[in-house]
Amino acid sequence: MGKLIVHQDKITDIKALMALCPFGAMEEKDGKLEISAACKLCKLCVKKGGGAVEFVEEVQATVDKSAWKGIAVYVDHVDRRIHPVTFELIGKAKELASKINQPVYAVFIGNDIKKEAEEVLHYGVDKVFVADNELLKDFKIETYTKAFELFINMVKPAAILVGATPVGRQLAPRVAARFKTGLTADCTVLDIRENTDLVQIRPAFGGNIMAEILTPNTRPQMATVRYKIMDAPERESEANGSIEEIVIDDDVLTSRVEVLEITKKPKEVGIENADVLVVAGRGVKKKEDLKLIEDLAAALGGDFACTRPLVECGWMDAKRQIGLSGRTVRPKLIITCGVSGAIQFLAGMDHSEEIFAINTDPKASIFKAANYAVVGDLYEIVPKLIDMVKAGREIL
């Protein structure tokens, strides 16, 4: 990357120079030329500005990668109940660490959490770093960030994986900003190179491409991953590894926020927990036709969901949307009806055990991920499936 330098003494006609910019990114303030954030670095002003504007390449600072070792996982929890995404990330961390022969760490922040920290050791973590303090009982972004910062300065992990939960989505960007490092959100694939560069892959540009993102010049590298994207390891009967305390003085954990009361939200039964899902896509022509989808789901004892276009049309609630901009699911059986199979959607369901796809287009992307592909009209096929299920016949 680089930046534009304006040599004010070389400007002969400020209006003419401003007129060169096709993006209107040049502004005159107090008789001086300034370049705004609208600049796209097309460098037209450099080529035709008579030397008044210069493009300078920025020298990127390098980092001593050998000083940063290990893959760390943030232990996400509410009231000391560990979120299952933590164990999924430990499984991925173990896989990545084995490729570079480095340890796996977990960082656990909270109060009265030593027993839960011992549970983490049953999943193959080499060491759990525990920040246990009464001032960390409730999640407050300032205090948790300070504890996380102490952990990073103490351990210097090469990469940190955080669950894309309500807590993780607040905490990860603040920690990344504190260390002026990169953060890739909602990764669907993670890999690592021999030089410890974390390869972070996620859909981009509306799901039209899979972007491969690297953070080669800063450490730690940070990524968030949604629940049910990775595979959790089996719990080992014996706890291996060790627990190390992160000593934090109370005066470090100051916060401008005071928790007065916590009101628990009523527990919702979402599509994430369904063993069977029937999904409606653009192939459903009218809102009234969604009853076909609901009837099939009811016959199978499952739940129903949809793709983003149906939510945007107002046909279904956003809580029933599958995909990176919706919910991530991992049912035993998912039946897609008229779903094309965009990358964003597939990333939210491609870990399902069995995928049964119905589409009129034999070249639909969904068929590449499906275990069973039916080329045909859902209006003909779905009623037959409902009849078969009600008659007690197997559909697979």
Query: DSSP state, 65?
Result: G
Q: How does the average pLDDT of the chain come out, rounded?
A: 94
Query: DSSP state, 186?
Result: S
pLDDT digits (tens, 9 = 90+) for 87-106: 999 999 999 999 999 999 99
Check residue 325 and give its pLDDT. 87
Question: Contact 34/17 with Cβ under 8 angstroms?
Answer: no
Confidence of residue 213 (pLDDT cuts 50, 70, 90): very high
Q: Check whether the bond before 220 is cis (ω within 30° of 0).
A: yes
Check residue 395 and give its pLDDT. 60
Q: How many Å apart are CA 120 and CA 148, to the nearest integer? A: 18
pLDDT digits (tens, 9 = 90+) for 243-269: 999 999 999 999 998 889 888 888 777
Check residue 204 and give its pLDDT. 85
String of DSSP letters for 327-355:
B----SEEEEES----HHHHHTTTT-SEE
| Angle, in degrees to the nearest 10, between helices 166-178 and 141-155 | 60
Query: DSSP state, 290?
Result: H
Measured in degrees and rounded to the nearest 5, phi and psi for residue 92 equal: -70, -40
Check residue 367 and give its pLDDT. 97
pLDDT greater than 90 at residue 234: yes
What average pLDDT does range 280-289 have in this prediction? 96
- The residue type of 246 is I
Q: How many Å apart are CA 331 and CA 371, to the nearest integer? A: 14
Beta bridge partners of 199: 191
Check residue 244 and give its pLDDT. 97
What average pLDDT does range 111-137 have in this prediction? 96
Task: Retrieve residue 89's tokens.
Answer: 């990330």
Check residue 196 and give its pLDDT. 97
pLDDT greater than 80 at residue 168: yes
Cα angle value 89/95/101 (rounded, 5°): 125
Comparing C-alpha atoms, which of 15, 49, 54 is closest to residue 31?
15
CATH, domain 2-57, list 2.40.10.10, 3.30.70.260, 3.40.120.10, 3.30.70.20: 3.30.70.20
Residue with tokens 């759990």: 128
For the chain, percent of residues with pLDDT exceeding 70: 99
Task: Retrieve residue 153's tokens.
Answer: 């300065």
Domain 271-390: top CATH class:
alpha beta
Q: How many Å apart are CA 244 and CA 62, to the nearest integer? A: 30
Check residue 1 and give its pLDDT. 67
| Higher pLDDT among residues 393 and 86, named by residue | 86
Cα 311 to its chain centre, rounded Å, is: 21
What average pLDDT does range 12-16 have in this prediction? 93
CATH, domain 65-252, list 3.30.200.20, 3.40.50.280, 2.60.34.10, 3.40.50.620: 3.40.50.620
pTM, entire model:
0.82
Task: Retrieve residue 95's tokens.
Answer: 């896989």
Check residue 267 and give its pLDDT. 75
What average pLDDT does range 304-330 have in this prediction? 95
Beta bridge partners of 104: 71
Check residue 396 and give its pLDDT. 59
Q: How many Å apart are CA 166 and CA 147, to the nearest integer? A: 18
Q: 309: burial class by Cβ within 10 Å (0-12, 13-18, 19+)?
A: middle
Check residue 266 and give its pLDDT. 80
Q: Do the two domains 65-252 and 271-390 of this chain adopt the same fold?
A: yes
Measured in degrees and rounded to the nearest 5, phi and psi for residue 26 equal: -105, 135
Of 3-7, 177-181, 258-262, least confident by mean pLDDT is 258-262
pLDDT greater than 70 at residue 136: yes
What average pLDDT does range 273-292 have in this prediction? 96
pLDDT greater than 80 at residue 59: no
Q: How many Å apart are CA 281 and CA 336, to the nearest integer? A: 7
Check residue 154 and give its pLDDT. 97
| Domain range list for the chain | 2-57, 65-252, 271-390
What average pLDDT does range 225-250 have in this prediction? 94
Residue 367 backbone zone (phi > 0: left; psi -120 to 50: alpha; other: beta): alpha
